[in-house]
Amino acid sequence: MNDLTFSGTSGVLVLSAYAVIMLVIGWWAGRGTTSSSARSYYLSGSGLGFVALFFTLYATQYSGNSIVGYAPEAYRSGFTWWQSVPFMVAVIAAYLIFAPRLYVIAKREGFITPIDWVRHRFGKGKLTILAAVLMLWGLANYLLEQLVAMGQGISGLTGATIPYEVGVIAFVLVMLIYSWSGGMRAVALTDVMQGIALLVGVAVLLFGALYLVGGDVTGVTATLADTDPEKVAVPATADSVEWLSMIVLIGLGAAVYPHAIQRIYAARSERTLKRSLAVMAWMPLLTTAVVFVVGIVGTQLFPGLSEDDSEQLVGMIANEVAGLGVFFYIMMILLFGGVVAAIVSTADSALLAFSSVVARDVYGRHVNPAAPEKRQVLVGKIAGVVAVAILLVIAWNPPGTLYDIFVLKFELIVQLAPVFMLGLYWRRMAAGPAFWGMLAGALIAGGLTVAGVDDLGGVPGGLLGLAVNVGVCVIGSLVVGRPDDSPSEDPMPAQEATVGAA
């Protein structure tokens, strides 16, 4: 791999340039803002306009795993990985179910963290504590995923000139500096930069990869059918069930990411949120589908890669495309920086949400309720740094491929879906049954994961847990009704329901 285009000084220069840009954005975003204000730091004052909101939603949904991890998964799995496109569509569908309605209530009540909705709807109690635990777990897992992707992306895109460990440490420091300085505003502005670079770079990567195989997609498929027919065969029943299950699991789970919820809160207006989601509906075809085709083309460009080697596929293809000419070289530089920036930007989103939950819902509610906002924000920042330090140790020896890490967090985070979606529309939903349903779902999903059971008949443990979760919640609420610890004030007056559903 020593002859790769980006190896040596050029790769280091490209990464350095993007690092400097992100640091400058963080410094600029932090000027003149009140970083000690929780709303300013965590939500950019709830003033994100259409462009910033769209790209930060895009960065939230399309993480480094979407580029660095999805193409290798297509390489290994073949056409069954087309499921990645419809499950990204399902995420937008899930957003549209609850996001506009939640935004109206969040605007009125001044929500800052995702737990604010749970507390407002169901009152203080064990349900909010359990929800916070699941959110912190999911965010920590999500951060771990991005750290692994960061190291693999940098190593692959530089031909291992920058080692995995060095790349992770360097860009973690960059991320901590600019997110500490500028908060959500810095994160959103870096999302705009990396989003543009990613969209353009991935499109050119596909064009270049197709050029390298003579532009014959049919020929690539025919070759794959001859060399590895299982990758183009009609999926078995279990694979089809898994396909549908993953669409539901990821569609619901990704929409209730804590950092996704905070982006709903951060929108300037309900109209801005809806416009951003409308454009987001096209992104599965312009991003995930493109990456899928790149992975399939990779089976002809680099046949026979092991599972570990295939994790470097995007970097290998990018370097081959860069050798086609000056234009492709420049575009791959754009992609090169965009992939790294996308990974870092996704990590900082999770870090910001993690920090907010610790600051507001753990420290501010249970440890030191009298603490001023400035102290809460500082505690959240420090907690984020400590969490990243711990995750760096784990990232040194990652516990599986990026896809394995990706699925692991969804098994638990999807258990939050009922309190956000069902809780917004069903007035009779009660806190007690919601708690026991969430706990049962989490124990089932976590227990199956610990036992090494990936699925039962193609249905992942997280979805089985969610089914039990919903069943307990619905039946329990019908039996016991609204308990005493539920808020007496109706969180969803009729006029708001109309506005939220418009």
- At 427 the three-state DSSP class reads coil
More confident residue, 481 or 99: 99
pLDDT class for 101, splitting at 50, 70, 90?
very high
User: To which residue do tokens 């020593």 refer?
Assistant: 2
Asked whether residue 384 carries a pLDDT value surpassing 50, the answer given is: yes
> Maximum distance among all alpha carbons in the chain?
70
What does the alpha-carbon distance between residue 166 and residue 295 come to, in Å, rounded to a whole number?
A: 27
- At 197 the three-state DSSP class reads helix
* Predicted local distance difference test score (pLDDT) of residue 400: 63
Least confident of 3-12, 124-133, 153-162, 445-454: 3-12
Query: What mean pLDDT is predicted for residues 33-55?
Result: 80
Query: What mean pLDDT is predicted for residues 15-26?
Result: 84
* Predicted local distance difference test score (pLDDT) of residue 9: 66
Query: What mean pLDDT is predicted for residues 208-214?
Result: 92
171-187 pLDDT, tens digit per residue, is 888 888 888 888 888 88
171 Cα distance to chain centroid: 18
Q: How many CA atoms lie within 13 A of 37 on its CB side?
A: 12
What is the pairing mode between strands 459-460 and 455-456? antiparallel
119-139 pLDDT, tens digit per residue, is 999 988 899 999 999 999 888
Asked whether residue 345 carries a pLDDT value surpassing 60, the answer given is: yes
More confident residue, 485 or 252: 252
Asked whether residue 486 carries a pLDDT value surpassing 70, the answer given is: no
Q: What percent of the chain has pLDDT over 90?
A: 35
* Predicted local distance difference test score (pLDDT) of residue 7: 55
pLDDT class for 65, splitting at 50, 70, 90?
low
Q: Is the dihedral of CA 468, 472, 478, 483 positive or negative?
A: negative
Asked whether residue 235 carries a pLDDT value surpassing 70, the answer given is: yes
CB 414 within 8 A of CB 257: no
Least confident of 146-155, 278-287, 360-369: 146-155
CB 261 within 8 A of CB 354: no
Q: Is the dihedral of CA 62, 283, 84, 247 positive or negative?
A: positive
Asked whether residue 166 carries a pLDDT value surpassing 90, the answer given is: no
Orientation angle between helical segments 237-255 and 417-425, nearest 10 degrees: 70
Asked whether residue 218 carries a pLDDT value surpassing 70, the answer given is: yes
pLDDT class for 159, splitting at 50, 70, 90?
low
What secondary structure letter does DSSP report for 414?
Answer: G
- At 6 the three-state DSSP class reads coil
Query: What mean pLDDT is predicted for residues 65-88?
Result: 87
Q: Is the dihedral of CA 251, 257, 261, 266 positive or negative?
A: negative
Q: Which residues of 311-335 are buried (b: 16+ CB within 10 A; e: fewer)?
A: bbbbbbbbbbbbebeeebbebbbbb
CB 11 within 8 A of CB 315: no
Query: What mean pLDDT is predicted for residues 88-112?
Result: 93
Asked whether residue 5 carries a pLDDT value surpassing 70, the answer given is: no
Query: What mean pLDDT is predicted for residues 255-266?
Result: 92
More confident residue, 420 or 318: 420
CB atoms within 10 A of CB 452: 6
What does the alpha-carbon distance between residue 327 and residue 422 come to, in Å, rounded to a whole number?
A: 50
Which pairs count as long-range contacts for 95-98, CB under 8 Å and 24+ apart, including other chains? 95/255, 95/260, 95/277, 95/280, 96/277, 97/255, 97/421, 98/255, 98/420, 98/421, 98/424
* Predicted local distance difference test score (pLDDT) of residue 3: 43
User: To which residue do tokens 């060399």 refer?
Assistant: 227
**CA neighbor of 347 nearest in space, from 70, 133, 64:** 64
Residue 302 φ/ψ, nearest 5 degrees: -135, 70
What does the alpha-carbon distance between residue 184 and residue 262 come to, in Å, rounded to a whole number?
A: 10
Asked whether residue 357 carries a pLDDT value surpassing 90, the answer given is: yes
The pTM of the full predicted model, rounded to 2 decimals, is 0.85
* Predicted local distance difference test score (pLDDT) of residue 165: 81
pLDDT class for 94, splitting at 50, 70, 90?
very high
**CA distances (Å), 323 to each of 2, 296, 331, 402, 500, in order?**
14, 20, 11, 28, 51
Computed over its alpha carbons, how large is the radius of gyration of the chain?
Answer: 22
More confident residue, 24 or 341: 24
CB-based contacts of 160, cutoff 8 Å, min separation 6: 1, 7
* Predicted local distance difference test score (pLDDT) of residue 498: 36
More confident residue, 469 or 396: 469
* Predicted local distance difference test score (pLDDT) of residue 501: 35
User: To which residue do tokens 């984020």 refer?
Assistant: 384
CB atoms within 10 A of CB 21: 17
Q: Is the dihedral of CA 213, 219, 223, 225 positive or negative?
A: positive
Query: What mean pLDDT is predicted for residues 190-209?
Result: 88
Which amino acid is residue 294, in one-letter code?
V
Q: Mean pLDDT for the chain? A: 84
Query: What mean pLDDT is predicted for residues 93-103?
Result: 93
Asked whether residue 497 carries a pLDDT value surpassing 50, the answer given is: no
Query: What mean pLDDT is predicted for residues 273-297?
Result: 93
Query: What mean pLDDT is predicted for residues 390-401?
Result: 75
* Predicted local distance difference test score (pLDDT) of residue 157: 62
Enclosing H/E stretch for 459: strand 459-460
* Predicted local distance difference test score (pLDDT) of residue 64: 63
